[in-house]
Structure 1
């Protein structure tokens, strides 16, 4: 549906929809993933996990240790005895009262108590996986069950002594006094509470890792989102110098934030390898992943919006309560607090803002980043509340947003949360979206649906996104002996198409044929530093570094080529060095070959590090139409239109692919996905038989259009696009569902809109109508 130029190999520069260079390899089974790369003869690890949500335990592994093929069994006390740091740290938040958030121990293997179903109790290492599984069945675990904490509220049985009321953190940001004063003088105040359901990441490739000792150094291979954080954590946990640790990432089958941090299994595999002197491998299966991977979302948000007599937004307060699960995860405390705050006011000109966030421990799997990490949650509550306000105020929902938008002449704009939005033209983007989605024809489509006995709704979400992560990145360009070029990058592809777009950068800037370029990523020995992938940072930060490295290459080679041509100076244009007084032209590859022969080896490697001066802020409008079958409650997304401002697009087709994937994940959460625990803390949605993963047949055609306002925060004018689809999708679907059900008298609808839940809503509405 995208209006863009077709892919063409003869035009491989930037802003072209070049086909992905990775796809022939990945689609024909020649991808190399972590489980494909383990050393021959590596021992197999299996993790025994808790079957109880909350209990004191005693563990007997004597019979298991004597089982056939077993090389080692590790328990929590064994980890302590070995001197391994038995704790995975988290980034701790600041509380409103100036103190620090709760930071209880999160052991690699349970120490006397388990706190969620799926918590690791022991790791068995054996010659084969079958032997490891058989030995695990011989481990005796005695559970003395405790009361279970499942509700997302203060109080109840304490999950950790460090948080007796189960409050992990109590965060606040903004001006509370000014916000309350503005709400008090507002002509109208509108309030709304929404649930943001817990979801499972379910990446195509489950988590896995292996380790070996090579040349006296520890080498760990993990399918993560970068190697440097893992390298640092492994060194700290195992009391090693960082120089003695190498971490590599092969191909990775999806991450979505869930694979951005280290997990217990990676450290345990590394320790077992050092203890045994043999390579050890571990690969999770799907149910194991559902039990133990970081979950996403899971919070309740209450919004309070204050409007003046002209329906302009003058105050916004938001309070959320977030389920943290049983333990702190890597960046979890900051997801629904600090990261949420970055886009909490959205695209609206409102300076009286205040938010609070409380994290609550429960006896469930830990929660952390999931595609968007706080920004989809913030936009979901805000855009649901804006639609609700439009109905309460009796004003058109599109007009309400136009009244409240930050206007183009107000940029750069400092939001109430201290974020400096560099550029934007929200009215222009919204107008384009209304045209492309044919909003004017919606009533006719609604009438057609009604004639078929179906309800039809139109939902709008206007989102803004904040690019996150380290603003610095490095790139190194090396001209190799075989006449090729290698680009070393600090980001890590999880399927986004980095190999393609980074080749586009070099081809555009240095005139090198794409099939002569090799991309190296994910190796802490070959790449000195890097920020990995997350927060939609990759192409923006890495692209800026790539461009700087290319410019440095040209600068370094210019005097050398001038000498070759025996001229005073040369210019580099259209991929070649030229001089007005010479008919000869020299490509960069030819110049590199000459430099090698001349012994000018310093010209053959160039490394540059750049730091972005500010964040970029992608934004856009999502318009969603749904149909609801009144007899079954089945909700179908039948039409979906996105108009995004991503600034300058480096590869429009890849950007569209990112939007499609993000929207699919947002629709999945809105329509079918929900993690469910029973009253004892057992996970009821631990397989695809029970967990509602979205499928292709349930996805609409997604029309994508670009309405760019180039960013001023980087030299390429780009804005990240990796998570934007998810940021906008949930509220668009939620608002469409409400629009479809509004005429029946329903005023509150919450995700997920499964057939059973929608059917119950319909019958609730029919009951209310009958009662009248």
Structure 2
């Protein structure tokens, strides 16, 4: 295998252009003559629209267009966004319309009301100030409890759906007969995604065709939406994703601005651009997490799990967003029982509407939430039962010889060796030395805690993907259906093709994010890219080599030609005939058979892979201020075979940083009227470099049997494990003070309040 092939820590190829300012981000490449769009958003969280007068705005200098809901419906367009409903056993989920522009009522601060297009952004903003919006305020519903002011008539008590799985009666019976019953309640706080690059897009009409460029996670869903919404032929719509500065699930779906910009460009016959600023993003981007979970664990006398019950209520925001109903229900359920061997269970999740921004996918999309609740409960149970948290987990792990294992919720875990991974983490984290580290911290007036999380996650998304590879005069061009958001796809895919063809990395071009150049694709999400796209590329490369080998055998009258992937050459046994891959492709083109140098294959994964691993965090808390910091962090992951260990480690580091951010600093606050009080980086605590310790990263690979490459996705794993590891460490630090209920985020003010509660308990 070449030093540049798979399993090698190759430096990212794309970084050169990013670091030298040659990235092609949507706000950089919008047409110079494009008009500027601006969205007028509701200043109130819940109100009836009594009047909307845009006359003065339309007459303002530099204004070309002002769109309202009436303008959309008047043009024969449906004023509604697309979204999916969760499949439930009982009553159908509520399916209220989510308008592109508010119609009749606004339901969160930031709800789009009008779209202004002008010569400049300043002119558009000035015109927006002239719009007369008469709102009759209603009470705002902010909390997660059922009831309150009705937001949608279709959802009594504001409950959008009730999702259940498992046997409730059998679970209750098993719990009633258990030797030990432990119940734990946790709150998974709301976060604002805050990708480095805010959302943006531009649209133009080229030769009668609509072209929309936006910074998202795939082009085909948006293309299908535009075709349907504008009633256009498929051939008349092109959608592209240029370079994208972070997505994390938040950019994986459609937003009103995509449709408004596209419609405006067609109406005006001019390019139209829109770019969010940071506060606008905080108000309008789909948020993440925000749910309450009560977990009940039932153990027998030997501390083996005999039953498991989960009851959760999750925030949908003001409307159903694209995947919102499925995140905390169907996707949460995929890893409901984690790495543990328990088959008797019951799960209920209810989604509730509130007058807040929509909640949807955020790095992990349901799996971090499920593992957080489960691993918080397991640690809590260990403390309540007076046993070692590692020992309790070992007693309940799925046995290594039980794989493939069908989980209680129907997932087929292909492989795993959880005890081995846990044992490695115990050593690498130096748990034997923790007591001494705690004693030292105590002597210096600080509390120290140790937290463990053993996670498992399920790769999501379409298991099918296509790839096209064409050999050019100088190298290869690869067309992929996934979309990089900064993960390093260009490097990993080039490594994979280099490993199979011997072509230099710099001679391989990766083409992505263009519906004209790529027929179809599943986009990026659910940690699917490398496993699904990698398998498609491997199959395509095999087909390409076979085609060229067959061509050469005939063209050169040489039978049984072989291909040396290390050197990238074809050889004829028993002769001195050696021809490079590029020479073979050139011969095929010269012979009038250019198709021989191009191949396309669509493949489907035979099963999903299940990354898993152990996170161990140590925190220290200042007794006087409540300031909490993560002091040590160790993670041992099973990602199967790695294509590029350096990039995998980078993904884990980034995921852990996001988990630490949610656990310690990120705190979304709405007031009682629904106003977002944390709408800038002055008020919203993004994690910084000094919030993140050195992260010791190790792997204990058990190659997946669900794909030929033996890989398991790693993009979201860091976040899946980090939340509970940090929270359990804080719980451990505060446990001696008598504190049994501690919830994220562990900001200094909140932890200080917990410390005062501990002092009050000690004084009783």
Q: 1:518 aligns with which of 484, 509, 533?
A: 509
Is 2:536 the partner of 1:545? yes
Deviation at 1:164, TM superposition (A): 2.5
Between the aligned partners of 1:320 and 1:37, the Cα distance in structure 2 is 44
Contact persistence 2:560–2:573 (CA under 8 A): no
**Which one of the candidate residues 497, 500, 512 is aligned to 1:506?**
497
Pairing 1:319–2:314 present: no
Aligned to 1:4: none
Contact kept in structure 1, 2:551 and 2:596, CA below 8 Å: no
* Structure 1 stretch displaced more, 35-44 or 536-545: 35-44
SS of the aligned residue for 1:171 comes to strand
Structure 1 position 154, deviation (Å):
1.1
Q: Secondary structure at the match of 2:745?
A: coil
Give the match for residue 414 of structure 1. Answer: 406
Q: Which of 542, 548, 570 is the equivalent residue of 1:557?
A: 548
Shift of 1:563: 3.4
Alignment correspondent of 1:120? 112
- From 255, 268, 274, the counterpart of 2:266: 274
1:171-220 Cα offsets, whole Å, 9 max, x none, are: 00122222112111111110000000000000000000110111211110
User: 1:234 is matched with which residue?
Assistant: 226
**In structure 2, what is the equivalent of residue 164 of structure 1?**
156
Which residue of structure 1 lines up, in the alignment, with residue 601 of structure 2?
608
Cα displacement string for residues 112-165 of structure 1 (whole angstroms, at most 9, x for unaligned residues): 211100111101000111111111110011111111111111111110111121
Q: Which residue among 256, 262, 278 is the counterpart of 2:248? A: 256
SS at match of 2:187: strand
**Correspondences of 1:57-76 after superposition (within 5 Å):** 57=49, 58-76=51-69
**1:427, CA displacement in angstroms?**
0.1
For the 8 Å contact 1:53–1:117, the answer to whether it is kept is yes
Paired with 1:585 and 1:312, the residues of 2 have a C-alpha distance of 63
Q: Does the 8 A contact of 2:475 with 2:503 survive in 1?
A: no
Contact 1:86-1:237 at 8 Å conserved across structures:
no
CA contact (8 A) 1:86 1:107 kept: yes
Alignment partner, residue 715 of structure 2:
722
3-state secondary structure, aligned to 2:696: strand
Match of 1:187 among 176, 179, 182: 179
> Secondary structure of 1:360's match?
strand
Query: Hey, what's the Cα distance between the residues in 1 that align with 2:88 and 2:561?
Result: 59
Shift of 1:451: 1.3
Compute the TM-score of the two structures, normalised by the length of structure 1: 0.98
User: Per the alignment, in what secondary structure is the counterpart of residue 190 of structure 1?
Assistant: strand
Cα offset for 1:584? Answer: 2.4
Does the residue aligned with 1:198 lie in a helix, a strand or coil?
strand
Residue 565 of structure 1, CA deviation: 4.2
Partner of 2:215: 223
CA deviation profile, 1:571-616 (whole Å, cap 9, x unmatched): 1123221122111222211111111112111112110000001110
| Deviates most, 284-293 or 172-181 | 172-181
What is residue 709 of structure 1 aligned with on the other side? 702
Which residue of structure 2 lines up, in the alignment, with residue 495 of structure 1?
486
Q: Is the 8 A contact 1:217 1:244 kept in 2?
A: yes
Instruction: State the partner residue of 1:43.
Output: 35
Task: Give how far 1:40 is off.
Answer: 2.3
Tell me the distance in 2 between the aligned counterparts of 1:35 and 1:712.
42
For residue 572 of structure 1, what is the aligned residue in structure 2?
563
Asked if the contact 1:94–1:169 (Cα under 8 Å) also holds between the matched residues in 2, the reply is no
Q: Report Cα offsets for 1:616-664 as digits up to 9, x if no partner.
A: 0000000000000101100010000000000000000000000000000
Tell me how far 1:695 sits from its aligned partner.
0.5
Equivalent residue number for residue 6 of structure 1: none
In 1: Cα distance, 2:37 partner to 2:734 partner: 51
Tell me the distance in 2 between the aligned counterparts of 1:227 and 1:490.
Answer: 9
2:447 corresponds, among 413, 434, 455, to: 455
Of stretches 232-241 and 754-763 in structure 1, the one that deviates more from structure 2 is 232-241
Q: Which residue of 2 aligns with 1:81?
A: 74
Q: In terms of mean alpha carbon deviation, does 630-639 or 146-155 score higher?
A: 146-155
Tell me whether 1:535 sits opposite 2:526 in the alignment: yes
Q: Structure 1: give runs of 5+ residues left out of the alignment.
A: 1-8
Q: d(CA) in 1 for partners of 2:411 and 2:153?
A: 36
In 2, are the aligned partners of 1:624 and 1:732 still within 8 Å (CA)? yes
Q: Is the 8 A contact 1:746 1:765 kept in 2?
A: yes
Whether contact under 8 Å (1:511, 1:587) holds in the other structure is: no
Pairs aligned (count): 761
Question: Quick check: 1:189–1:306 contact (8 Å CA) kept in 2?
Answer: yes
Q: Name 1:589's counterpart in structure 2.
A: 582
In 2, the alpha carbon distance for the partners of 1:103 and 1:220 equals: 28
Q: Counterpart of 1:743 in 2: which secondary structure?
A: helix
Q: Aligned match of 1:371 in 352, 360, 363?
A: 363
2:548–2:597 Cα contact (<8 Å) kept: no
2:5 to 8, 13, 17: 13
Cα deviation for residue 109 of structure 1 reads 0.6
Correspondence for 2:285:
293
Whether the 8 Å CA contact 2:183–2:297 is kept in 1: the answer is yes
Q: Distance in 2 between matches of 1:584 and 1:703?
A: 50
Q: Kindly indicate whether the alpha-carbon contact (under 8 Å) linking 1:22 and 1:497 is maintained by their aligned counterparts in 2.
A: yes
Normalising by the residue count of structure 2, what TM-score does the alignment of the two structures yield? 0.99
**Cross-structure match for 1:54:** 46
> Conserved in 2, the CA contact under 8 Å of 1:125 and 1:132?
yes
Of 564-573 and 138-147, more deviation after overlay is shown by 564-573
C-alpha contact 1:85 1:238 (8 A) present in aligned 2: no
Task: Note the C-alpha offset of 1:242.
Answer: 2.4
- 1:174 and 1:653 mapped to 2: Cα distance? 41
Q: Which residue of 2 aligns with 1:93?
A: 86
- Secondary structure (helix, strand or coil) at the match of 1:322 reads strand
1:140 has 2:126 as partner: no
Deviates more, 1:424-433 or 1:234-243: 234-243
Deviation at 1:168, TM superposition (A): 0.6
Which secondary structure state, in structure 1, belongs to the residue aligned with residue 588 of structure 2? helix
Moved more, 373-382 or 149-158: 149-158
Distance of 1:165 and 1:627 partners within structure 2:
42
* 1:473-522 deviation line (CA, Å, top 9, x unaligned): 00000123x43310000000000000000000110001111111110000
1:689-700 paired onto structure 2 within 5 Å: 689-700=682-693
Give the drift of 1:684.
Answer: 0.1
CA distance in 1: counterparts of 2:331 and 2:667, whole angstroms: 23
Deviation at 1:10, TM superposition (A): 7.1
1:670 aligns with 2:663: yes
Displaced runs of 4 or more, over 6 A: none
In structure 2, C-alpha distance between the alignment counterparts of 1:294 and 1:45, rounded to whole Å: 20
Matching of residue 399 in structure 1 with residue 391 in structure 2: yes
User: 2:662 and 2:8 mapped to 1: Cα distance?
Assistant: 32
